Amino acid sequence: MMTEMIANLKNTFQEQLDAATTSEALEAVRVAFLGKKGPVSDLMKSLRDMSVEEKKEAGQSINALKNYFEEAIAQKAAALEKAALDMAVRSAKKYNPSIPADKEVGSYHPITLIARDVEEIFSSMGFTVEDYAEIVDDYQCFESLNIPKHHPARDMQDTYYLENGQLLKTQTSAAQNHIMKKYGAPLRAIFPGRCFRNEATDACHENTFFQMEGMMIDKNISISNLIYFMKTMLSEVFGKKINVRLRPGFFPFTEPGFELDISCLICGGNGCPSCKNSGWLELCPCGMIHPNVLKEGGIDPEEYTGFAFGLGMTRLAMMKYGIKDIRNFNSGNLKALSQFESN
Ligand code: FA5
């Protein structure tokens, strides 16, 4: 009696299972056969009226039926899922890398453009372009630059230290020692890089900005060489004569050191937030490389002299492209950034 009932149930179940072609229909079959009001539940309830002997045999058959339903439903669910996935793949648009993009052409970031300009200018004057790490150690960023531990000059560059004792470089000067050791003298090199300082940001200060460092070391290099290269670079970048002023500046790694400011091109020198209302923008600190720094780089300061500069490249880009707020560079604002050349 029970055997016959189970065989019939299996037949009906199979018919309904075959007819279920969606996950919703399959769920309805599950509820119909395994739910509280379904046949499995009814059969379970019928055990109450059976003798112990009958109960044992019938219980096993009912459990086997329940497992049979559950397994069949799980298999069908997996099959439906696979079919849905196959359908989605078949109907999805095929990726074809040879089709040209329609509207979004993309564009270079203004920092990339200005870096290329400056690199081209200095390359044409015999400078090599060097690459350097963003994570450096204390020796590279400070000690090799004549800035021992606890030197007050460190306070000017609020530094992000990493847990392992390394730091995010605060200045491209961090590569000076490495490059001196790599090439020795004479050398001419520029090295662009991203710098990090824990700054309160405003229209002309960012916590992440770019500098372009340069060094020239040879016999008889003097301040007049420095001024010549700085002026040539600026007039090439801007395509016109630029007003500059040189003030004394202190850097432990230069002797003497200077601040080279350019007249603010955003306000024409009248004063605006981009130049902190001074009419001048501090753009390129520079100086003659300190003998201690040459010595630390393995170069004899009795034989060689050299100059170094640390151009504020993000600020240079502000001036060149008339960008009033430095925060636009890192904003990811495509409206602002996509205005630049796309070649
Ligand atoms: C330096 O970093 C020196 N290493 C530069 C140098 C190199 C001097 C070689 C002498 C010889 P300073 O901290 O002034 O100096 O930064 C250099 C330039 O980076 C600044 O003139 C400015 O244009 C830019 N700069 C500095 N801090 C920021 C900032 N928070 N946001 C944007 N630009 C900055």
Distance CA 125, CA 143 (A): 30
Q: What is the pLDDT of residues 193-231, one digit of tens each?
A: 999 999 999 988 999 999 999 999 999 999 999 988 988
Identify the pLDDT of residue 283.
85
Q: By alpha-carbon position, which residue is closest to atom 19 of ligand 1?
A: 312
**Residue 263: is it exposed, middle or buried by C-beta count within 10 angstroms (0-12/13-18/19+)?**
middle
Q: What is the mean pLDDT of the chain?
A: 90
Domain 110-337 sits in CATH at 3.30.930.10
Q: What is the pLDDT of residues 21-64, one digit of tens each?
A: 999 999 999 999 999 999 989 888 888 888 888 888 889 999 99
CA-nearest of 129, 234, 236 to 187 is: 129
User: What band does 101 get if pLDDT is binned at 50, 70 and 90?
Assistant: low
Supply 166's token pair. 């390394």
Q: By alpha-carbon position, which residue is closest to atom 18 of ligand 1?
A: 312
Q: What is the pLDDT of residues 295-304, one digit of tens each?
A: 999 999 999 9
The region of weakest confidence among 86-95, 130-139, 264-273, 302-311 is 86-95
Determine the distance separating the centroid of ligand 1 and the alpha carbon of 171, expressed in angstroms.
Answer: 7
Around ligand 1, the residues with Cβ closer than 6 Å are 171, 173, 197, 199, 205-206, 209, 211, 213, 251, 254, 257, 282-283, 285-287, 308-310, 312, 314-315, 326
Q: Check if the beta carbon of residue 6 is closer than 8 Å to that of residue 65.
A: yes
For residue 316, give the ligand 1 atom closest to its CA.
23
Beta bridge partners of 153: none
Identify the pLDDT of residue 88.
80
pTM of the model: 0.70
Domain residue ranges in the chain: 2-91, 110-337
